[in-house]
Amino acid sequence: MSSTVHFYWDIGSTNTYFALHLLGEVIERRGAHLVMHPFNLGYVFRHHKYALMDEPKAKLANRRRDLERWAERYNLPFRMPDKFPIKTSHLLRGALVARDLGVESPYIHTIFRRYWEENDSSLETLEGLVSVAEEIGENTNAFLQACESDLVRQELIDETQAALKLGVFGAPSYMVSDELFWGKDRIDFVDAYLQSLETE
């Protein structure tokens, strides 16, 4: 029986961009099942009274260079967008709608590519969301209407609250069985844990 990796993400997370690209190989190698969970990282930060941009300038500068190193190491076309952070809640709701439509993966990869590779901050607007729906071949009016519905709004709230209850405090986070891992640099630990479950 294959293991399940629950992947908690927000497009506003730089590290999630890298994890999204690097986790797939582990999932395939271990024959695991991947479940994506969009959650409101900004809300979680506020819940824990954490403000990313209030960190020391030296640390923020080093973080930017570290991201560049990751991009160079894995040959990924990452670039720090001109506008950061952006509002992400409607994009997260869009992922829930895309899941129901069976286009979750192309939707997620499209928004991450456009923001973290193509510097497209228009994604924080409803017009940007509509353009994503158009790019993945969905009816734009129906997609937007679903994203703005009370049902999907509540679904995102529920996803975020469920993540908090599990102890998720940042993105990317991975829950495998009863183990929680955090960060793009913890994928090796996820891989090792999945391997250990194979021998049980």
Render each residue's pLDDT in the chain as its tens digit; 200 residues: 689 999 999 999 999 999 999 999 999 999 999 999 999 999 999 998 877 667 778 887 888 899 999 999 999 999 999 999 999 999 999 999 999 999 999 999 999 999 999 999 999 999 999 999 999 999 999 999 999 999 999 999 999 999 999 999 999 999 999 999 999 999 999 999 999 998 76
173-176 and 4-9 as β-strands: parallel, antiparallel, unpaired? Answer: antiparallel
Total structural domains within the chain: 1
Nearest-CA neighbor of 5 among 40, 22, 30? 30
Contacts of 29 (CB under 8 A, 6+ apart): 191
User: What's the confidence (pLDDT) of residue 71?
Assistant: 97
User: What's the confidence (pLDDT) of residue 30?
Assistant: 95
User: What's the confidence (pLDDT) of residue 8?
Assistant: 98
Q: What is the CATH number of the domain that holds 177?
A: 3.40.30.10
Q: How far apart are CA 197 and CA 68, in angstroms?
A: 34
CB contact at 8 A, 5 and 23: yes
Q: Cβ-count burial of 163 within 10 angstroms (0-12 exposed, 13-18 middle, 19+ buried)? A: buried
User: What's the confidence (pLDDT) of residue 2?
Assistant: 80
Instruction: Give the range of the structural domain holding residue 146, as residue numbers without chain letter.
Output: 4-198
Q: How far apart are CA 163 and CA 8, in angstroms?
A: 8
Contacts 24+ apart (CB under 8 A), 60-63: 63/14
